């Protein structure tokens, strides 16, 4: 073969290999997909053991995040039994949880346990390698951001001993619900695009959390005069609030914790709605009554799920100027 032809062929082979790789590594999105929190409970931190951009190391034979649906995936160093939390709200559209073990052997590719949540905006998040029968969600269930998904595990293709970790990615939601898609570039609200070896602390939603919305008043009342009012708090946790346990309660400094207020005659005010889902606003209606003795009175109220936990104290109070 003439030298020039051989050289041209070698050059073409290189070009073709480059083109082939480019076809599989996926194209960076215009902007990283956002609105995500780290996929584990708030306050916890796990080391990023593999990042997107691993295609740079894949060219050197290292890493596994090299191809379409894995290119923009993150691996987090969760151990078997560690809780995985929803990075984004969504509906469960795929659910496999019936496999016990994994291996680096490619024969285990189709034996991975995983959950997929459809965010409802054209994208889905995928949580791989969950433990056998550990899913905290049901097929078709809608869950809020922060809701437990499952326990981490090692089912599917996992390398190492036991190789347990969480493989997390965001992909376009396929029209048929199941076709393998290319993952997209993503960023977490509290950690951006974390680097390998770092361990950012999750600021994902807790089970119960409340943010004051409004309703506090400063009113002038006469002796025995009544004023209807209501406090409003947004549910910023992942669990819905039920009328049977959701309250605002006295917590000090005026009156002291769990003591009845002279303004309301009680230490608790109940939620008006039967159920308040995450991101909805709960209303706690009550009446202020002017005391018999003139003076300045306050009732500080803090949201509580009775029998479970107090939620954030944001120093919210109602003030009555009894003249």
Partner 1 sequence: MRRFTPFAAFVAAVIAIAVIGATALAASRGPLGPTSAYVSQTLGYDVQLPGGWRRSTVLSTLVHNGTLKVGHEVFTIRSAADETGVLNDPGPGAAWSYVAVVEQWRDPAGWSALAWATDPLLAGWAQGQVVESTTIDGHVAAKVTNGPRFSVAYYVQDAGRMFVVGYKVDAPDWKPSAATDADLRAIVASFHVSP
How far apart CA 45 and CA 203 sit, in angstroms, is 10
Q: Pick the piece of the chain touching partner 1 (CB under 8 A) from 7-15, 227-235, 271-279, 313-321.
A: 7-15
Q: Pick the piece of the chain touching partner 1 (CB under 8 A) from 58-66, 160-168, 236-244, 273-281.
A: 58-66
8 Å CB contact between 78 and 165: yes
CA 250 centroid distance within chain: 30
* Nearest residue to 187 (alpha-carbon basis) of 312, 28, 323, 66: 28
* Nearest residue to 71 (alpha-carbon basis) of 88, 87, 60, 58: 58
Q: Does 1 bind partner 1 (CB under 8 A)?
A: no
Task: Give the nearer residue to partner 1 in terms of CB position, either 9 or 274.
Answer: 9
State the virtual CA torsion across 135, 137, 140, 144 in degrees, nearest 10.
Answer: -140
Q: Does 222 bind partner 1 (CB under 8 A)?
A: no
* Nearest residue to 234 (alpha-carbon basis) of 209, 215, 206: 209
Q: Nearest distance from residue 181's CB to partner 1, in Å?
A: 9
Q: Does 73 bind partner 1 (CB under 8 A)?
A: no
Q: Does 256 bind partner 1 (CB under 8 A)?
A: no
Q: Nearest distance from residue 44's CB to partner 1, in Å?
A: 26
Stated as kind and residue range, the H or E segment containing 300 is strand 295-305
- Tell which one of 29, 32, 45, 101 touches partner 1 (CB under 8 A): 101
How far apart CA 212 and CA 281 sit, in angstroms, is 9
State the virtual CA torsion across 267, 272, 277, 282 in degrees, nearest 10.
Answer: -70
Task: Give the nearer residue to partner 1 in terms of CB position, either 140 or 224.
Answer: 140
Total site size for partner 1, rule CB under 8 A? 48
Q: Does 9 bind partner 1 (CB under 8 A)?
A: yes
- Tell which one of 103, 211, 216, 259 touches partner 1 (CB under 8 A): 103
Q: Does 56 bind partner 1 (CB under 8 A)?
A: no
* Residues between 115 and 134 that touch partner 1 (CB under 8 A): 118, 132-133
Q: Does 109 bind partner 1 (CB under 8 A)?
A: yes
CB-facing half-sphere around the CA of 302: CA atoms within 13 A: 20
* Nearest residue to 258 (alpha-carbon basis) of 271, 270, 267: 267
- Tell which one of 29, 49, 83, 94 touches partner 1 (CB under 8 A): 94
Q: Is 123 helix (H, G, I), strand (E, B) or coil?
A: strand
Q: Nearest distance from residue 94's CB to partner 1, in Å?
A: 5
Q: Does 157 bind partner 1 (CB under 8 A)?
A: yes
- Tell which one of 1, 31, 107, 296 touches partner 1 (CB under 8 A): 107
- Rounded to a whole number of angstroms, the CA Rg of the chain reads 27
Q: What angle do CA 163, 167, 171 make, to 5 degrees?
A: 155
Q: Does 142 bind partner 1 (CB under 8 A)?
A: no
Q: Could you list the residues that contact partner 1 (CB under 8 A)?
A: 8-9, 11-13, 15-16, 19, 21, 24, 58, 64, 66-70, 91-101, 103, 105-111, 118, 132-133, 138-140, 157, 176-180
């Amino acid at each position: 073969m003439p030298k020039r032809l051989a050289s041209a062929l070698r050059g073409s082979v290189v070009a073709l290999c480059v083109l082939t790789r480019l076809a599989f590594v996926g194209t960076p999105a215009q902007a990283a997909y956002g609105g995500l929190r780290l996929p584990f409970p708030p306050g916890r931190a796990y080391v990023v053991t593999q990042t997107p951009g691993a295609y740079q190391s894949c060219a050197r034979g290292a890493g596994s995040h090299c191809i379409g649906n894995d290119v923009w995936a993150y691996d987090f160093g969760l151990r078997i039994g560690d809780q995985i939390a929803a990075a984004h709200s969504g509906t469960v559209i795929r659910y496999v949880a019936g496999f016990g073990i994994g291996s680096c052997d490619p024969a285990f590719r189709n034996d991975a346990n995983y959950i997929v949540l459809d965010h409802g905006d054209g994208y889905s998040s995928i949580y791989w390698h969950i433990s056998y029968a550990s899913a905290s969600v049901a097929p078709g269930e809608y869950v809020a951001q922060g809701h437990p998904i499952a326990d981490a595990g090692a089912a599917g293709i996992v390398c190492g001993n036991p190789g347990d970790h969480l493989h997390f990615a965001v992909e376009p939601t396929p029209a048929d619900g199941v076709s393998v898609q290319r993952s997209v570039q993503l960023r977490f609200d509290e950690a951006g695009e974390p680097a390998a070896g770092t361990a950012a602390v999750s600021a994902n939603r807790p089970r119960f959390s409340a943010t004051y919305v409004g309703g506090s008043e400063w009113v002038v009342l006469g002796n025995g005069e009544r004023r209807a009012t209501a406090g409003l708090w947004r549910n910023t946790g992942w669990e819905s609030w039920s009328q049977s346990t959701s309250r605002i309660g006295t917590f000090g400094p005026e009156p002291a914790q769990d003591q009845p207020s002279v303004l309301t005659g009680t230490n608790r005010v109940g939620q008006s709605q039967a159920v308040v889902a995450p991101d909805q606003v709960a209303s706690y209606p009550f009446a202020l009554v002017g005391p018999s003795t003139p003076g300045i009175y306050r009732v500080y109220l803090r949201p509580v799920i009775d029998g479970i936990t107090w939620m954030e104290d944001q120093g919210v109070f109602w003030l009555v100027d009894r003249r």
